Amino acid sequence: MLSWASRSSKACAVLARPALRYTVTVEGKMIGNLVQIVLMVVSIMLPAVAPASAPRQDHTKPTILRFVKNPDLAPPFTIKDLNGNPLSLSDAKGKVVLLNFWATWCGPCRAEIPDLIELQKEYKDQLEIIGLATQEDDAEEVRKFVAESGINYRVAMAPDEVTEKFGGIAALPTSFVIDPQGRVVQKHVGLNDPSLYELEVRSLLGEPVNATVEYFEDTGQVFLVNADRATELPGVDMSKLSPEQKKAALRRFNSERCTCGCGMTLAQCRINDSDCGVSKALTEKIVSEIRNGNTKAMPSPVKTEAGGSKI
């Protein structure tokens, strides 16, 4: 199943769930290619998919910045940028990094690029924006687009292993905010108010901001591997379970895999794609079994790599 994180037409669906590609059979490849072409055309042609500009915050209300409490280090990687030069997160240590997964065919991605260009220009010595074009894109098209749009930050093609390290990219644009210590403190999906990015950058640099900073525990919102920390899951009603029954249900959600083809645990799938009917049905079945006394012992959840799970 595809994860359609539409966010009111502020994001484009990526044509693969994390760690899942249309490469199982020749027939699967043909279907995958056809779907990819159709979605690219829709993303480019429909004005509803690509707003003229990023949504602006209501500045009459106090701004709240939310960062991860006790954040995880960003998964390391070294790749080549479009000019063939080595590109590594470690090169930007000491700076705030905005790691932006995007594609040329994604309307919301194109809409936010002018604001990213201005942000990089304003904080050129303290901020490193890195644009990672997904493998659904064509390298030559990306190179041409970068030249025509005047992008002033480094751009590279994102290998599958990099997107997997970051939990899989279910929708575009997806941006990870990394603090000067190399820790991932926030993840944004879809087109955002550029002033939010600037406030986050200033706050992480220790500069004064007219905003309140709050901290939250990452229970899968940033890295899906942290789904085993969650005590509630989207669309899963555990209100009629006792505390012990709820613990048993959560153990099973983090031990049993969804059968929709995503390769994730049930908990990860519910967080990644709350519209997945398969994981919803399976979690409802587990809740019903446990409520009726069928509490079979399950193995402890197994941690996958920092960004998510593989098939």
* 262 carries an active-site annotation: no
Find how far residue 221's CA is from the centre of its chain.
8
- Give me the torsion for CA of 66, 68, 70, 74, rounded to 10°: -130
Residue among 150, 163, 214 nearest 186 (CA):
214
Q: Are 278 and 260 in contact (CB under 8 A)?
A: yes
The pTM of this model reads: 0.77
Q: For 57, which DSSP code?
A: P
> What pLDDT, on the 0 to 100 scale, is given for residue 300?
44
Read off the pLDDT of residues 67-108 as tens digits, 9 standing for 90 and up: 999 999 999 999 999 999 999 999 998 999 999 999 999 999
- Selecting among 106, 258, 260, 262, the annotated active-site residue is 106
Distances (CA, A) of 195 to 26, 55, 144, 199: 46, 10, 28, 6
Question: How far is 116 from 131, CA to CA, in rounded Å?
Answer: 10
CATH placement of domain 48-216: 3.40.30.10
- Domain ranges across the chain: 48-216, 224-291
> What pLDDT, on the 0 to 100 scale, is given for residue 62?
77
Residue among 246, 242, 216 nearest 233 (CA):
246
Place of tokens 């706050």: 203
| pLDDT lower than 70: segments of the chain | 1-10, 13-60, 295-311
- Selecting among 109, 258, 262, 276, the annotated active-site residue is 109
Token pair recorded at residue 159: 């290998």
* 109 carries an active-site annotation: yes
Distances (CA, A) of 126 to 97, 132, 156, 180, 207: 9, 20, 20, 9, 11
Question: How far is 147 from 139, CA to CA, in rounded Å?
Answer: 13
Question: How far is 146 from 150, CA to CA, in rounded Å?
Answer: 6
